[in-house]
Amino acid sequence: MIFEYSKWDATRAAFQQRLDELMKLFRWLLNRAAGDADTALDWLDHLAEKYGLWGDGIDRDEFEKQLRETGEVERDAAGSHSLTHKGERAMRSVALKDLFGELRKSGGPGEHRARHTGSGGEPEPFVKPYTFGDDLWSIAVTPTITNAVRRSFERGEDDMTIQEEDLMVHETQDNTQCATALLVDCSHSMVLYGEDRMSPARSVTMGLVEMIQTRFPRDRLHVIAFGDDAVEVPLAKVPYLSWGPYHTNTKAALEMARELLTRSRCPNRQVFMITDGKPTVLDEGGHRYIDAGWLNPRIINRTLDEAGQCRRKGISITTFMMTDDPVLTKFVEQLTEINQGRAYYTGTGKLGQFLMVDYLQNRKRNVR
């Protein structure tokens, strides 16, 4: 390793600090802009002009230059900026980092399941005496040697040897493969009444994609956006998830999820649904029924039928409600009872905490 020392450059240090702060703000705005780099840059410029954020040798032109040098953004011949694959990956990485940061601060919600130790899987920080059948790769070296030294000293032995009675092994958890369909409500209500629910939903989706791709590559994830229709979203395009002038076709989203998950051979199959509204759309018999009023019996019953079909296929549904609307709550209670799944009211602040903890717990199978 080679270290190079030079005279402290206060100007350069101020430049770098300012750039880091602006980059952090830009990435936050980029999520709110659904991956639209030009929109995020315009918002940043407006804030910088209003609050005096430009400085230390950085204006908009210099920031755009520095941004392009990271390789996360590129400019076309017309002068428009767009995310590169590296930029899309950076958005997902930041989202995952933020989610785990929230988990560390909160301690994680929903830590309620019993733990049983056993062989195989990922090592835990706890150790136990070795028993026949334990994997040798899980031997805890330091506790094992400590036991051997203590035993040799107590018996007055000149040479230290390791016996079977000295062996200690890490307790482990078996991780099972998991197939998940993440359903994201993209209806108009996700941005109504002055509350942006779409950005937290997008951020959580990006974080889940990044976690599965980097930490659990054998797991399967399908992202389904639903409004008037249900559409599977390529994982690379998740940063661009956005709302539209849509109603809520929950039945179509659950049906697509069931069809996709039924093809999977993963032992754990589950649906995570992020929504802020009751079902208001039904496609049946070549006709589309729309009712944005109270709970329409026809739309609700067909949607609940789909939840029942998921249950019969062994697919659990966990619903994350982003509003405590009584009408939505009544529907979700019915859906949860029929599917024997789970439901959480998370609002926008704790959506990531609940969803990530639930995912990590669901993919662990603890054995003796």
Contact 23, 65 (CB under 8 A): no
> pLDDT tens across 156-180, in order?
777 788 888 888 887 655 456 899 9
C-alpha span between 20 and 171 (Å, rounded): 42
Residue 42 has pLDDT above 70, yes or no: yes
Helix (H) or strand (E) holding 141: helix 141-154
Q: Which residues pair with 118 in a beta bridge?
A: 172
Tell me, yes or no, whether 358 and 219 share the same domain: yes
Tell me, yes or no, whether 214 and 357 share the same domain: yes
Query: At which of 174, 192, 216 does a domain end?
Result: 174
Tell me, yes or no, whether 328 and 226 share the same domain: yes
pLDDT for 5: 73
Tell me, yes or no, whether 166 and 295 share the same domain: no
Helix (H) or strand (E) holding 38: helix 37-51
Tell me, yes or no, whether 334 and 287 share the same domain: yes
C-alpha span between 269 and 183 (Å, rounded): 14
Tell me, yes or no, whether 244 and 361 share the same domain: yes
Q: Is residue 183 part of a domain?
A: yes
What sign does the dihedral 104-106-109-113 (CA atoms) show? positive
Query: At which of 139, 155, 174 does a domain end?
Result: 174
pLDDT for 267: 82
Instruction: Give the pLDDT mean for 327-343.
Output: 95
What are the tokens at 297? Answer: 């019996």
Tell me, yes or no, whether 239 and 312 share the same domain: yes
> pLDDT tens across 224-283, in order?
999 999 999 999 999 999 999 999 999 999 999 999 999 988 888 999 999 999 999 999
Residue 367 pLDDT class (50, 70, 90 cuts): very low
Residues of the domain holding 338: 176-365
**Angle of CA points 323, 329, 335, to nearest 5°:** 125
Question: How close are the terminal C-alpha atoms of the chain, in Å?
Answer: 46
Q: Is residue 332 part of a domain?
A: yes
pLDDT for 274: 97
Residue predicted with more confidence, 109 or 351: 351
What are the tokens at 268? Answer: 């754990």
pLDDT for 117: 38
Residue predicted with more confidence, 347 or 175: 347
Tell me, yes or no, whether 152 and 270 share the same domain: no
C-alpha span between 151 and 217 (Å, rounded): 44
Place of tokens 């002055």: 194
Q: Is residue 90 part of a domain?
A: no
Q: Which amino acid is at 154?
A: E
Contact 128, 169 (CB under 8 A): yes
C-alpha span between 75 and 293 (Å, rounded): 46
Tell me, yes or no, whether 232 and 255 share the same domain: yes
The number of helix segments (H) and strand segments (E) in the chain equals: 10, 13
190-194 own/partner pairs: CB under 8 Å, 24+ apart: 190/243, 190/276, 190/322, 191/243
pLDDT above 70 coverage of the chain, percent = 88
Residue 305 has pLDDT above 70, yes or no: yes
Query: At which of 64, 83, 102 does a domain end?
Result: 83
Q: Is residue 107 part of a domain?
A: no
Tell me, yes or no, whether 183 and 34 share the same domain: no
C-alpha span between 306 and 323 (Å, rounded): 23
pLDDT for 120: 43
Place of tokens 């835990």: 124
Q: What are the φ/ψ torsions at residue 284 (nearest 5 degrees)?
A: -155, 130
Instruction: Give the pLDDT mean for 296-322.
Output: 96
The contacts of residue 187 (CB under 8 Å, 6+ apart) are 226, 227, 243, 244, 246, 247, 248, 276, 277, 280
Q: Which residues pair with 74 in a beta bridge?
A: 82
Q: Domain tally for the chain?
A: 3
**How many Å separate Cα 59 from the centre of its chain?**
34
Q: Is residue 94 part of a domain?
A: no
In three-state secondary structure terms, 341 is coil
Residue 62 pLDDT class (50, 70, 90 cuts): very high
Q: What are the φ/ψ torsions at residue 282 (nearest 5 degrees)?
A: -145, 130
Contact 291, 245 (CB under 8 A): no
Q: Is residue 5 part of a domain?
A: no
Tell me, yes or no, whether 227 and 344 share the same domain: yes
Tell me, yes or no, whether 246 and 145 share the same domain: no
Q: Is residue 39 part of a domain?
A: yes
Q: Is residue 106 part of a domain?
A: no
- Average pLDDT score over the chain: 87
C-alpha span between 199 and 34 (Å, rounded): 8
Place of tokens 């032992």: 267
C-alpha span between 286 and 113 (Å, rounded): 45
